């Protein structure tokens, strides 16, 4: 190929999307970042503006997507992705999972591009199988508050496989487990940004339920590596990318307090509806077909993320 590979990343100004833009630029790709800033931020890509191989298109992907010239890869990462966001934007969340996925797949089909869907561990719902392998079909409440996100992603997976089987589109599906790192929004409502912000401000740390529910947190660099390997692999079908090291939310809150040196107390509030009690990826498939597993320890990842949160809160040097 005489030109660099051309890659479209929808939701490219989001937390994960912006890190993917950086990675693909580093790999020599021409990157087209598309976002409507509903939950993404111009700040996340400000440092890329002016790069000769980076282009930004302000667009809502639930509408027809037009990109001039050839495309080799389409990565569909546009979607609200935290409970705060999809409770605030329930219909937009459903639309980007359904109409947005349809438009992005249509573009990939027209361009003959390989398509990668950002799916989620939320397709497993409140799982009855632990840890969760890719062949587990999940336990989701389709009419619950979280259903708008869970079912949007489940539908997106079905649509992706339909385009693969019916139209021959070359597809990949990544099921992303809890991820964290620089460029997370401080107010996105997830455990890590909430705990870190509360700890740094010396506010009480809010734990829902008794804190016995578990999550498995992976650092953004590990996630990006897994996504890149999956895109470049020959494997069609969902692949879990997550860190199998499980921790209770209560223990996690205590870790953040210790890391920040905060004097915050932990307060308990009622558990939200349909909140998963456990979450842990089975990454046997990723190990086998991608040779991938997480490399960054939680302690190291949290240390790097803490520096970002301090900067955002204006606490550097303190």
The Cβ of residue 207 has, within 10 Å, a number of other Cβ atoms equal to 23
CB 287, CB 138: distance < 8 Å? no
- Catalytic-residue membership of 208: no
Could you tell me which of 200, 182, 179 has the C-alpha nearest to residue 190?
A: 179
- Tell me the sheet residues that pair with 73: 7, 114
State the alpha helices, DSSP H only, in the chain: 15-26, 83-88, 90-95, 101-111, 147-167, 191-201, 220-232, 249-260, 284-290, 298-312
- DSSP assignment of 20-32 equals HHHHHHHTT-EEE
DSSP labels, 65-113 = P---S--SEEEE--S--SHHHHHHSHHHHHHIIIIIHHHHHHHHHHHT-
Q: CA angle at residue 57 from 56 to 58, to 5 degrees?
A: 120
Residue count (the chain): 318
Cis bond upstream, residue 131 (ω within 30):
yes
Instruction: Name the active-site residue from 89, 149, 163, 219.
Output: 149
Active site members: 149
């Amino acid at each position: 190929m005489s030109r660099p590979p051309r890659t479209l990343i929808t939701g490219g100004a989001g937390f994960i999307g912006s890190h993917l833009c950086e990675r693909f630029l580093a790999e020599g790709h021409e990157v087209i970042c598309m976002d409507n800033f509903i939950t993404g931020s111009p700040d996340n890509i400000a440092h890329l503006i002016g790069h000769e191989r980076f282009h930004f298109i302000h667009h809502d992907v639930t509408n027809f997507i037009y990109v001039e010239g050839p495309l080799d890869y389409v990565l569909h990462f546009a979607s609200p992705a935290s409970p705060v966001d999809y409770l605030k934007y329930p219909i937009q969340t459903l639309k980007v999972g359904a109409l947005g996925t349809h438009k992005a797949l249509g573009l990939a089909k027209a361009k003959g591009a390989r398509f990668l869907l950002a799916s989620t561990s939320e397709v497993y719902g409140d799982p009855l199988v632990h840890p969760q392998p890719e062949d587990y079909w999940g336990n989701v409440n389709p009419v619950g508050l979280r259903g708008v996100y869970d079912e949007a992603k489940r539908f997106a997976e079905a649509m992706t496989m339909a385009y693969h089987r019916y139209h021959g589109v070359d597809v990949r599906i990544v099921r992303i487990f809890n991820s964290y790192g620089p460029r997370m929004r401080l107010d996105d409502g997830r455990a890590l940004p909430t705990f870190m912000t509360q700890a740094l401000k010396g506010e009480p740390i809010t734990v829902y339920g008794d804190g016995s529910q578990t999550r498995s947190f992976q650092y953004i660099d590990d996630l990006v590596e897994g996504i890149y390997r999956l895109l470049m692999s020959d494997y069609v079908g969902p692949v879990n990318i997550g860190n199998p090291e499980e921790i209770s939310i209560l223990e996690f809150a205590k870790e953040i307090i210790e890391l920040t040196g905060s004097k915050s107390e932990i307060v308990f509030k009622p558990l939200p509806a349909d909140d998963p009690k456990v979450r842990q990826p089975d990454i046997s498939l990723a190990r086998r077909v991608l040779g991938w597993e997480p490399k960054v320890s939680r302690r190291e990842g949290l240390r790097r993320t803490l520096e970002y949160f301090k900067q955002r809160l204006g606490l550097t040097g303190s």
